[in-house]
Amino acid sequence: MDSVMPGNDGFVPANESIHSDSDTAYMTTFPVRLLTDACNRKGIAAKVSNSAGTFVCDRVYYEALYSVAKGLFTIKALFVHLPYIREQEKSPSMDKSLLAKGIADIIKEIGNMQINDA
């Protein structure tokens, strides 16, 4: 963990390990570029990020992948960072119906793919 921003508890992590019995990082087995391209082809703006956000987002995704790697869950985990909805009046934002369509399209694309277990 590493951040310049404090969490809700005021803690600012600096190059800290999350679990001593784990890898420093885990890579997704999902074809994120294909999923991103599928969204963009359908008019839903999307881009690949090699970092979930270097803060709470990273921790959430790391914990999910750690749990899968340790056999605590027999699922696949994918983190999709979503923008604000327009009603929140923040930037970047996206129309709520387009955002919902994007999520549904990602799920459909995943259902049509064969995902590696490695």
Which candidate, 68, 47, 45, places its Cα nearest to that of 117?
68
**Which residues of the chain have a pLDDT value below 50?**
118
64-68 own/partner pairs: CB under 8 Å, 24+ apart: 65/26, 65/28, 66/18, 66/19, 66/22, 66/26
Residue with tokens 């119906």: 97
d(CA 70, CA 72): 6
Identify the pLDDT of residue 118.
Answer: 44
For the segment 73-97, what is each residue's pLDDT rounded down to a tens digit? Answer: 888 889 898 889 999 999 889 999 9
Whether the full predicted model's pTM is greater than 0.85, yes or no, is no
